[in-house]
Structure 1
C-alpha cells in the first residue's frame, strides 16, 4: 500500500503519530462494524481527500496485509461512499470527485437532496450504522465531537467516526504532499477552505503582491503559514445594526457603523492598584476606523465573571475585545471564560503550542503549558509577521495579550493589516463638531433632545473639563453635511453664550 509506505518513510515524526492514531480509529471502527454497516461521506475537499486515502490504508492493514504484499492496482475500495451533489458546488470539486472515484474503483452513492433528507433516505434503505467523516477541530461542526460520537438529536441514528478530528491544517497538507496524492486543483489557486460557489473565494493571505495589473494570482494552499486562517476565504456576514443614541438603527442606510465591546480582566484594575490605559486607547483606535464602542467593562479574575460578560456582549456587538487574565498563572482565566461563554471546553492547540515553544523553549510544552489550552473547535489564530505569537479569535471575540500600550499598538497594527479578512472593516471616519456654552445643563437639555429627534444619526455628548468651566457639547456622525446641519440647528436653539469649535 503506497500510502502506508510513504508515511513510514517520511521524516516527519508528527505526521507519523497523527497517521497511526487515525489508522487506529479506522481499524477500531472496522472491528466494531461490518463493511456493510459503514459508509464514508466524501465531498472532494482536502480533509475528505485525506480521509479517503487513510481509509484505503486502514482497510488494507485491517485485513492483515503488510507493505508490498498486494499491488495497489489489485486493491479495491469496498466502503460505501456517499457524495452529496448540489447546484452550488464548484465544478472543479465535482470533476475531482468523479475522477477520484474512477481512478480508485469507488462506487459512489450520489445524493441530490439536502444533506439531512438524503441521509435519512439512505439509512432507511441500507444497514449503515457508522459514517466516516473528515471533521477536524476548528470546523464549525466539530464542537463537542469525539472520535466516536453518536449523531445529534433530530438526526437519523448513526455513529460519527472522526479519524482526523485532532489533525491541524498543517497535518493535512503534510499528509497530502508526503503521499503525493491528487487533490482538487482549486487549492493550487489559493483556495484554503472550500464551501459553495456563493461563499468561497481565494484566501487573501496567499495573494501574490507582484501580480500583473488586472491579474490576481495566489500561492497554493499549502503555503499558508497560519493554518487557523484557512477559513479567511469564506464570506463573513457583517452586522446590520448599530447603536445610535441608545437605540438600534439600520445599516448602511443610517449610521453605517460597526459596534465593539471591550472587556478588561483584572483584580488589580478593580482595586485601583493599576490604572487601565488599554481600554481608552482601544476606544480611540476603534473610533478612528468609524466603529462605535458600546461599552467598556472591567471584571474580576474569575472564570464565571469573564464568561458572563462575554455572553452579555457577544451577541450585541460585531466584535468583543478582551484583555488581561492571559498567561500560565492560576488567575489567568480569560481563555477558560471565553470557552465557557461559547459552551465548549479548553483543549490543547498544537499550532499555538508550536508558536509558544519557539518563543519560550521547552518550558512551554506538553500538559504543563496552560497557555496552549484554547477553546475547542472555535479558535482561529490571527498570525502576523509583527507578532511573536498569534492573537486568539473565537468567533467574534478577540483575545488580546497586550499588557502595555506598546504591545497594544503592535497588536492593533497587525489587526489593521489583516483587514483584508474583513476583521476590522472601516466604515468611514466620524465627523465631529464642538460647541462651548456658558448655559447650564438644564438650559441645554431641551434643545439637545430636539436635536436627537431631528437628527437620529447624530451622536450627542456633553462634558465639562472643570467644575466651573464651560459646557462642551459634541455632535458627531458619519455624514459631514448632516453634522453641519445639526450644529447649525443647535446653535439657533441655544440663545446665548455659544462658541463653535471644529474638530
Structure 2
C-alpha cells in the first residue's frame, strides 16, 4: 500500500510514531464495527485528505496484505459523507469529486445543514461510528460530533461513537501530505491555509509576496506558513482597503501583521564539495550568490556546505526545500564518481534518476568525440520533477527540480553568466518574483562595545522589521552599524531614533 510504504521509508521518526498510533486507532475502530457501521466526513480540505489516506492505509492493514494483494488502491468501502454547499469553492467541489473517482469512494452527498443532514443520514443508515475533522481551536471543536481535532501543525485522528467515546492521536498534516506525495486541492498552492466558503475565505496575508514590477500580489503555498497558529488568518471578514495588490482586503484578526515578513521571499544555498570542507578550495560562489539574491530583494536564510555524498545532499535538500521558496545548489555536477548532486536531489524528492533524451542531446553536441559511457550518467535527471531552462548563451540548459535550482558554475565568472541568463529567463516567463530591493544606511560610533550594545538593543526592539547589525573590518577599527530594510522611511526613522537615544556625536553616518 503506497501510503504505508512512504511512511515506512521516511526518515521522520516522529511522523512514523504518530502514524502508527493513528493506524492503531483506525484498526481498533474497524475491529469493533462492521464496514457498514463506519463512515467518515470528507470535505476536500487538507485535513480530511490526510484522514482519507490514513483510513485507506488502516483498512488495508486491517484486512491484511495477503487478502488485499488482489485489490486495487481504489478499493475503499468505508462510507463517505460529503456536505455540498452552494458557497463552496469550485476547486473544492472538483477536487472532492475527482478524489471520489480516483479512490472509489461511496459518496453520500448531503445538501442540508450539518446537524439536520447528519441526523437524517443516521436514521437511514446503520452508522455507529464516524470519523470527522475539525481543527483544535475551531469554534465547533467541542460540539457533540467532534471526533477529529485538527490544527495546522497536528492531525488528531480520532475514532468516536455517538456516545462521545474518543481516542486521539496526532499527526503533522503537511509532513504527512508531503512525505506521502498525496494530491491536495490547488487552492493550498495559492496561499489559502484554511478553506471555508467563498464569502469568508481569502489567501492568508502572511503568505503574500509583493511583486514590485507589476504591483500585484502573489502567495506562497500553504505549507510554507511558518506559524501554524495563524492558519485561520485566511478565514476573515472582508473590509474596504487593499491588503495585498489587487486582492480584497481582510481583517486577519491580528493586531499587527508583520508586513516586512509578507514581502520577503527566502532562499537557501547549498555548496557540495569535500574540497571546501577540507580547506583545499575556498568557496567564492556562496558569497557571490548571496549578493545576487540580496540585490533582487530576496532573503538568504542559510548557506550550507555538505560532503560529496548522496545521503548528505539528500538530507540537506529535504530539510530546506519545504521552508524556502527556492534552493540554489552547486558543486558535484558532472561525470565523475564524486558528482552526486542530482542523485541527492532525486533522493530528497523520493524519485529516481532517469535518462533525459533532450538533455543527453545537448551533452552530445557539447562533448562530441569525447563522449564515453559516462555520457548517459550525466544525462540522468530526477524523474518527473526536472525542468530544463533554455538560454541561447548557455551550452546546456539549466536544471530546475521543483524549487531546487542546480547551478553548473564552477567559478564566479561562470556564475555571473549563468545568473544573468537565469534572471532574463525568470523575467520572461514569470518564474521568479523580483522583490523590492533592500535599502541601507551605515553608521560608525565612538562608543565602547558595551555602551553601543545597550542603545542598539533598544533600537532593535523598536524597529523589529529592520535588520540592525554590527561588525568591524579589523580589531582596531571602530564598529560599523548597518541598518537595512525595504522601507527607506523606516530606515530614516531608525537612524533618527538612534541619534536621540545617544549623546550628540556618538553616532555618525558613513557616506
Using structure 2 for the length normalisation, give the TM-score: 0.51
Q: CA deviation at 1:446?
A: 2.3
Which residue pairs with 2:308 in the alignment? 301
Distance 1:311 1:153 in 2: 14
- Pairwise mapping of residues 356-375 of structure 1 onto structure 2 (< 5 A)? 356-361=363-368, 363-364=370-371, 368-375=375-382
Which residue pairs with 2:444 in the alignment? 436
Change (3 A) 1:112 1:379: closer
Which residue pairs with 2:328 in the alignment? 321
Contact 1:434 1:502 in 2 (8 A): yes
For residues 17-44 of structure 1, give each alpha carbon's deviation from its aligned partner in whole angstroms, at most 9, with x where no partner exists: xxxxxxxxxxxxxxxxxxxxxxxxxxxx
Change (3 A) 1:438 1:407: same
Contact 1:432 1:502 in 2 (8 A): no
Contact 1:326 1:332 in 2 (8 A): yes
Which residue pairs with 1:238 in the alignment? 220
Change (3 A) 1:258 1:154: closer
User: 347, 350, 354: which one pairs with 2:357?
Assistant: 350
Distance 1:472 1:253 in 2: 24
Contact 2:335 2:375 in 1 (8 A): no
Deviates more, 1:320-329 or 1:421-430: 421-430
Deviates more, 1:377-386 or 1:441-450: 441-450
User: 426, 437, 442: which one pairs with 1:419?
Assistant: 426
Q: CA deviation at 1:365?
A: 7.2
SS at match of 1:399: strand
Change (3 A) 1:324 1:153: closer
Distance 2:304 2:349 in 1: 19
Distance 1:350 1:314 in 2: 27
Which residue pairs with 2:208 in the alignment? none
Using structure 1 for the length normalisation, give the TM-score: 0.52
Distance 2:394 2:444 in 1: 43
Q: CA deviation at 1:287?
A: 0.6
Distance 1:277 1:485 in 2: 36
SS at match of 1:114: helix
User: 415, 421, 427: which one pairs with 1:408?
Assistant: 415
For residues 169-220 of structure 1, give each alpha carbon's deviation from its aligned partner in whole angstroms, at most 9, with x where no partner exists: xxxxxxxxxxxxxxxxxxxxxxxxxx99x99xxxxxxxxxxxxxxxxxxxxx
Q: CA deviation at 1:238?
A: 3.2
Which residue pairs with 2:244 in the alignment? none
Q: CA deviation at 1:251?
A: 6.8
Contact 2:260 2:465 in 1 (8 A): no
Change (3 A) 1:501 1:423: farther
Which residue pairs with 2:238 in the alignment? none
User: 257, 267, 273: which one pairs with 1:266?
Assistant: 273
For residues 314-358 of structure 1, give each alpha carbon's deviation from its aligned partner in whole angstroms, at most 9, with x where no partner exists: 112111111001000000011111111111111111111111112
- Pairwise mapping of residues 321-340 of structure 1 onto structure 2 (< 5 A)? 321-340=328-347
Contact 1:346 1:375 in 2 (8 A): yes
Q: CA deviation at 1:492?
A: 2.1
Q: CA deviation at 1:475?
A: 0.5
Unaligned runs of 5+ in 2: 1-88, 108-179, 191-216, 227-255
> Which structure has more RCO (C-alpha within 8 Å, separation ≥ 6)?
1
Distance 1:112 1:438 in 2: 64
Q: CA deviation at 1:282?
A: 0.5
Distance 2:292 2:344 in 1: 25
Which residue pairs with 1:478 in the alignment? 486
Change (3 A) 1:253 1:431: closer
- Pairwise mapping of residues 87-106 of structure 1 onto structure 2 (< 5 A)? none
Q: CA deviation at 1:266?
A: 1.0
